[in-house]
Amino acid sequence: MAGAEIKGINGADRYLFENAVYVLTPEDNVPQQQLIFLSDLLSATGARIRVMLASLHDQLVATVSHIPHLSAVALVHLTGGREEDLMMAAGGFRDTTRIASSTPELWEDIIFSNRDILLDKLDEFIAQLAEIKSALQAGDIQAMHEKLSRAKAIRDLIPRVRRGLMPGFSDLICIVPDQPGIIGSLGSILNQHKINIVDIEILRAREGDGGTIRLGVPSPEDAEQAVQALLAQNIKAWVK
Q: What does 223-235 look like in DSSP terms, one character per residue?
A: HHHHHHHHHHTT-
The pLDDT value recorded for residue 180 is 86
How many other CB atoms sit within 10 Å of the CB of residue 32? Answer: 8
pTM over 0.85: no
The pLDDT value recorded for residue 158 is 75
Averaged over successive runs of 10 residues, the pLDDT of the chain (240 residues) comes to: 67 77 92 94 89 95 95 95 85 83 89 95 97 97 97 82 60 87 93 91 61 88 94 92
Phi, psi of 236 (to 5 degrees): -65, 125
The pLDDT value recorded for residue 134 is 97
CATH H superfamily, domain 168-239: ACT domain (3.30.70.260)
Domain limits, CATH 3.30.70.260, in the chain: 168-239
| 143-to-126, 147, 149, 152 alpha-carbon distances in Å | 17, 6, 10, 14
8-135 CATH fold: 6-phosphogluconate dehydrogenase C-terminal fold (1.10.3660)
The pLDDT value recorded for residue 208 is 45
Decide the pairing of beta strands 211-217 and 199-205: antiparallel
Spatial separation of the C-alpha atoms in residues 38 and 42, rounded to whole Å: 6
Query: Among candidates 59, 52, 47, 60, which has minimal Cα distance to 27?
Result: 52
Q: 222 near 195, Cβ under 8 Å? A: yes
Domain limits, CATH 1.10.3660.10, in the chain: 8-135
The pLDDT value recorded for residue 99 is 87
The pLDDT value recorded for residue 160 is 60
pLDDT in tens, 104-146: 988 999 999 999 999 999 999 999 999 999 999 999 999 999 9
Burial per residue of 206-216, b for 16 or more beta-carbon CB atoms within 10 angstroms, e otherwise: eeeeebebebb
